[in-house]
Amino acid sequence: MTEVHALIGKPWRKPSFIKRPLLRWAIIMGFFVYLIAAYLTIEVNWSRVYEGLERGKKFVLAFTNPDFTTRSGDIIEGMTESIIMTIAASVVGIAISVPIALGAARNIAPLPVYLICRSIIAVSRALQEIIVAILLVAIFGFGPLAGFLTLSFATIGFLSKLLAEDIESMDKVQAEAIKASGAKWTQWINYGVQPQVMPRLIGLSIYRLDINFRESAILGLVGAGGIGATLNTAFDRYEYDTAAAILLIIIVIVMALEYLSGVIRARVQ
């Protein structure tokens, strides 16, 4: 009753998201101190920004009138190379990541194999595509091979990790039933494990194909092949209408892939 008496006469207030007041105020204060510090140390050339607004307007207008024709040869060449790199890298990456995923699942692999596979995944996930691409271009020379290897490498980290997590959370009973019938190890994987993780594998593969295409668009910036080089040239020459055309093509392909992956995932799951 005393609680109710204490509350009477006081208007109700929405409870805060962070309950402890001290922590809440510390976070808010720290946030503002950081903002001020960041604002003071960032150098912005406002007159340059203001000048740029005109060009920004031109670029936005270019989207209403993209120029597909003037550089159509370069665009087609770059796009085909991007798509080819994407497909080849996805296939190879998925093929390599399946055994690594099996090795990185604790319920299938023994501890030494598990640790090796997990460290491969960690290395692949920690390095960004563009940095890997720089190193591989330095080693293998310019061209789509470096891009292909970069994307394959990045695919391994992504796909193996998520697939291994799916394998670890699979239904043990089915796999044990296959084992009890006297199956060999390969048969056990093929009939006990694979059917359980197949929908997820297909879904992830398509999703990764989508990511690989998006990434392939920037690899050209460091000389690893694909549409990026054409795009970079278009920006350097202030040919905004060509750049807008390339960006529109990228957006349309990504949207198509996303739609396709939605349809396929809905069918297999």
Partner 1 sequence: MPMQDVKGQKIWQRRTGRESLGHWVIWLIGVAIFAYCWQQISSATTWFFVWDAPRIADDIWTRATPPRWEYISQLGKPIWDTLNIATLGTIFSLILAVPVAFLAARNTTPSLLLIRPIALLIIVSTRSINSLIWALLLIAIIGPGVFAGVIAIAIRSIGFCAKLLYEAIEEIDQTQVEAIIATGASRWQVMAYGIVPQILPAFAGIAVFRWDINIRESTVLGLVGAGGIGLQLSSSLNVLAWPQVSLILLVILAAVVISEWVSAKVRGAII
User: What is the closest distance, in whole angstroms, from the C-beta atom of residue 2 to partner 1 in the complex?
Assistant: 27
User: What span, in angstroms and rounded, lies between the C-alpha atoms of 257 and 70?
Assistant: 27
User: What is the closest distance, in whole angstroms, from the C-beta atom of residue 255 to partner 1 in the complex?
Assistant: 6
C-alpha 222 chain-centroid distance: 19
User: What is the closest distance, in whole angstroms, from the C-beta atom of residue 110 to partner 1 in the complex?
Assistant: 27
User: Of 72 and 128, which CB lies nearer to partner 1 in the complex structure?
Assistant: 128
Question: What are the DSSP calls for 7-28, one per residue?
Answer: HTTSPP-PPPSS--HHHHHHHH
Question: Which has the closest alpha carbon to 71: 213, 236, 214, 184?
Answer: 236
The answer to whether the Cα torsion of 112, 118, 120, 123 is positive or negative is negative
Sequence-separated (6 or more) residues with CB below 8 Å from residue 98: 163, 201
User: What is the closest distance, in whole angstroms, from the C-beta atom of residue 112 to partner 1 in the complex?
Assistant: 24
User: Of 6 and 39, which CB lies nearer to partner 1 in the complex structure?
Assistant: 39
User: Of 68 and 235, which CB lies nearer to partner 1 in the complex structure?
Assistant: 235
Where along the sequence are the contacts to partner 1 (CB under 8 A)?
A: 14, 17, 34, 38, 41-45, 48-49, 52-53, 55-56, 59, 80-81, 84-85, 87-88, 91, 126-128, 130-131, 134-135, 138-141, 143-145, 148, 214-215, 217-218, 221-222, 225, 228, 231-232, 235-236, 238, 243, 247, 250-251, 254-255, 258
User: What is the closest distance, in whole angstroms, from the C-beta atom of residue 115 to partner 1 in the complex?
Assistant: 18
Tokens 């770059």, residue located: 78
Buried b / exposed e over 45-56, threshold 16 CB at 10 Å, is eeeeeeeeeeee
User: What span, in angstroms and rounded, lies between the C-alpha atoms of 196 and 184?
Assistant: 18
User: What is the closest distance, in whole angstroms, from the C-beta atom of residue 21 to partner 1 in the complex?
Assistant: 17
User: Of 5 and 267, which CB lies nearer to partner 1 in the complex structure?
Assistant: 267
User: Of 109 and 137, which CB lies nearer to partner 1 in the complex structure?
Assistant: 137
User: Of 170 and 243, which CB lies nearer to partner 1 in the complex structure?
Assistant: 243
